[in-house]
Amino acid sequence: MSRQVRILTRVLSSFLMTTSASDSPSLTPNSTNKTEPDRVPQFNLPDEPLVVIEPKKSWSAVGVHDFWVYRELLYFLTLRDIKVRYKQTLLGVLWVLLQPLLTTVVFTIFLGLLIRVPSEGTPYVLFVYVGLLPWTFFSAAVISSSNSLVNNAHLITKVYFPRSLIPVSAVIGRLLDLAIAFLVLVCLMAYYHVAVTWAILLLPVLVALMTLLAVGLGMVTSAMNVKYRDVGVLIPVLLQLLMYASPVVYPASLVPARWQRLYGLNPLVGLLGSFRSAALGAQIDWSALAWSGATTAVLLVGAAFLFRRMEAHFADFV
């Protein structure tokens, strides 16, 4: 008991010594002066922002370095797109297989059996699936990329990061669909006893070129869709027309000779034709493939520069 009293006495004595040593007038018994409360410093915001975070506008900076610096963000954006696409779906990943398969069945019945479209000695089911496989990836990637900026308006208006990551991640996410649907192609090739040649090693290069082409188109259309929402409605219609202007359900040799040069301006002619030839072991048209590669490179650089010029105003329109 005496120990507790001693402790309490020491605490009170130290408290009294502290208060007595204070110079505050309010602690003086007969003092009539009152202490003024501490004033909170007031800060006035400037009329103009002190720092403006915006993308570079030089020709050399088309955003290639940004993909490496923000590679982790690109990974998580891609992963998020994949999870959102298959979340709360009844069939899940099976939709990736059903879309090209059902389309193949429809085209096989009407074009293969009724109209008898030539397939260059290949069973029409296999012929049309080899064309629909890369086309389904390309069209889905362009549509997803076109709407990506509008769908991510909550990110664009709140935090800064290179906006080009959004359409690029939408395209990369579709590569998983392509890989899953490719398994059906392997089964069809095994069923029809198609011999595998060394040309099949060219498929990753063709997929990379098709991905870059989808990125270029997606960056242009997504930037335009921010300001003009009609672009998002127009893109699926144009892609539907582009499918019939590309060798998806028919061979390129079916086009008359006088239209071949105009027809070959479509970069998908060389890419889709080379993809089918590499998968089925046919002769590859290297001139058409070279034109497709050059067109893809020019489109990608032009799209990156146009996107960079319009990037600063996305938050004003989105």
Average pLDDT on 293-314 reads: 89
Q: Which of 4-13, 192-201, 309-318 has the highest mean pLDDT?
A: 192-201
Would the pTM of this model clear 0.75, i.e. be above it? yes
Mean pLDDT of 123-150: 95
Give, in order, the Cα–Cα distances in Å from 317 to each of 81, 148, 168, 285.
23, 14, 20, 44
C-alpha distance from residue 276 to each of 50, 154, 176, 263 (Å): 56, 41, 20, 17
Query: Contact 245/266 with Cβ under 8 angstroms?
Result: yes
Band (12; pLDDT cuts 50, 70, 90): very low
Mean pLDDT value of segment 88-117: 86
Mean pLDDT of 2-31: 46
**pLDDT confidence of residue 55:** 57
pLDDT bin (cut points 50, 70, 90) of residue 94 is confident
Q: Write down the pLDDT at residue 292.
A: 96
